[in-house]
Amino acid sequence: MMANPLYDRLFGRHAGNAATFLHLPGNQSLSHDAFLRLAARYAHAFRAAGLGPGDRLAMQVEKSPAALAVYAAAVQAGIVFLPLNTAYTAQELRYFVTDSGAKLLLCDPARAEALRPVAEDAGAAMLTLGADGQGTLPEAASAQPESFGTTPRDADDLAAFLYTSGTTGRSKGAMLTQANLLSNAEVLVDYWRFTGDDVLLHALPIFHTHGLFVATNVMLLAGGSMIFLPKFDTDQVIAQLPRATAMMGVPTFYTRLLDDPRFTRDLVSHMRLFISGSAPLLADTHAAFEARTGHRILERYGMTETNMNTSNPYEGERRAGTVGFPLPGVELRITDPETGEARPQGEVGMIEVRGPNVFKGYWNMPEKTAQELRETGFFITGDLGVIDARGYVSIVGRAKDLIISGGYNIYPKEIEMLLDAQPGVLESAVVGVPHPDFGEAVLGFLVPEKGATPDLETIAAAVGAALARFKHPRKLIVLDELPRNTMGKVQKNVLRAEYAGLFTGG
């Protein structure tokens, strides 16, 4: 039994390894060994700040090697890591910090003043870390030793919280164990054939399961290196692709590359693998990418609570419009959403999954956990899907009204509550409609109060102040009334169908 399975398998094995781990902008690089020494100093700083095993560390900082070292430090010190979207406002952050009982809030120096009250009200300490590696955490860590006695942890101990939302009510903290993360990384390294020779182009954020646990954990386990870009920038990605062997992205990355004439078959002739996830990849994008490059994008399916569940095959047909087969060790079934009974092959139903990748439950929400995680271990995903005669899984939509735009999950209820509170607005409905670049775009529908004319510019400004940019409606549309069924329930499907071609010209 290892002392700390996740640390030992992902990080500890690279101690003393002088090989490059991160290729950075400006021809800079960071070796595995230098990365681990930085992480050890951070681990000491967290201990000095009063964090013990099982305590939560909430982090909202820009992507950088130092930010990634915080993850390594948390794992080594047995601290539960809680990465938060860098676009969240102070108002949004308050809930996560308070609900998680975080002992420390790590934020960007530029946001320290705005977030100090959030930390104080939650009883959390506060440290800062900038994308340039400056801040009060690096200062506190600078005099600390470069080795840290790894904290013993069991496979079932919590390693991370990732917050996800329901379409109604509060966000839920998905509790992920060491075994959840490690088992998934082990399966993916094998399934996608990653080795120490791979160089992954990493332009994803690291506050999300895709960039943090899929991309990073896989590369740590395989022993390869990453071209670590602050964000997706077409010029940078095209400049770096010749050094890479693999790339993980969201559909938006691939549509933007296809829009650039410099993205050619020759540019990527040496590449081994392109992977897409976090949002549905349009069949048109799939076909255009193959025609341009000769590569078929490998699409897979995962979620916050489970990491990866299915994948198109490495060898064999990668079918557009499908997310492939259940990964080894993952059971997937299609059930009747009402009864939970299994549905026959070819019929649409609720996707349920079971396996070592499935999370432990929702933090402080036993009722919600019991609703969505069966006693048999099957997790009710909330996604509707179908399995074809050859075993390929396709996602046909959300049972709930989740919107996925640019790889980010957006929950209409949160936006509707804000819109409903605006002057002159009687009620609102928010839906996602197809968008060629983002997969889906957010549309907001407003019904005015009698005799009132809502000021759309003022309402848009209010949304801008309260919510992260990716949640902003692309357009606000005023309607006399919302379509309803005989029970009075708003028929969002009618709105989606009517405005489906707004951004695609359909």
**pLDDT at residue 417, rounded to an integer:** 82
**pLDDT at residue 407, rounded to an integer:** 87
Q: Given a cut of 90, is residue 166 above it in pLDDT?
A: no
pLDDT tens column, 98-126: 999 999 999 999 999 999 999 999 999 99
pLDDT tens column, 61-72: 999 999 999 999
Total number of residues shown for the chain: 506
Which tokens in the block code for residue 62? Answer: 């820009």
Q: Which of 428, 432, 437, 495 is nearest to 462 (CA)?
A: 428
DSSP symbols for 61-104 = ----HHHHHHHHHHHHHTPEEEE--TT--HHHHHHHHHHHT-SE
Q: Which of 92-96, 196-200, 398-402 has the lowest mean pLDDT?
A: 398-402
Under DSSP, the state recorded for 29 is: E
- For residue 297, the number of C-alpha atoms closer than 13 Å in the C-beta half-sphere is 33
What average pLDDT does this structure show over 160-167?
A: 76
**pLDDT at residue 400, rounded to an integer:** 66
Q: What percent of the chain has pLDDT over 70?
A: 97
Helix (H) or strand (E) holding 178, with range, is helix 178-191
**pLDDT at residue 261, rounded to an integer:** 97
What average pLDDT does this structure show over 132-150?
A: 97
Q: Given a cut of 60, is residue 169 above it in pLDDT?
A: no
pLDDT tens column, 358-388: 999 999 999 999 999 999 999 999 988 899 9
The sign of the CA dihedral 281, 285, 286, 292 is negative
**pLDDT at residue 404, rounded to an integer:** 86
- For residue 119, the number of C-alpha atoms closer than 13 Å in the C-beta half-sphere is 21
CA distances from 384 to 210, 388, 399, 461 (A): 21, 14, 6, 35
Q: Amino acid identity, residue 464?
A: G
**pLDDT at residue 167, rounded to an integer:** 41
Under DSSP, the state recorded for 268 is: T
What average pLDDT does this structure show over 24-51?
A: 97
What average pLDDT does this structure show over 220-242?
A: 97
Is the CB of residue 135 less than 8 Å from the CB of residue 109? yes
Q: Which of 83-92, 116-125, 288-297, 485-494 has the lowest mean pLDDT?
A: 485-494
Q: Domains of the chain, with CATH numbers?
A: 5-153 (3.40.50.12780), 199-398 (3.40.50.12780), 403-498 (3.30.300.30)
Question: What distance in Å separates the CA atoms of residue 387 and residue 274, rounded to the nearest whole number?
Answer: 24
Question: What distance in Å separates the CA atoms of residue 219 and residue 22, rounded to the nearest whole number?
Answer: 10
Is the CB of residue 323 less than 8 Å from the CB of residue 351? no
- Give the pTM: 0.84
List residues bridging with 126 in a β-sheet: 105
pLDDT tens column, 250-266: 988 998 999 999 999 99
What average pLDDT does this structure show over 447-461?
A: 94
Q: Given a cut of 80, is residue 409 above it in pLDDT?
A: no
For the chain, give the mean pLDDT: 93
pLDDT tens column, 312-364: 999 999 999 899 999 999 999 999 988 999 999 999 889 999 999 999 999 99
Q: Amino acid identity, residue 87?
A: A
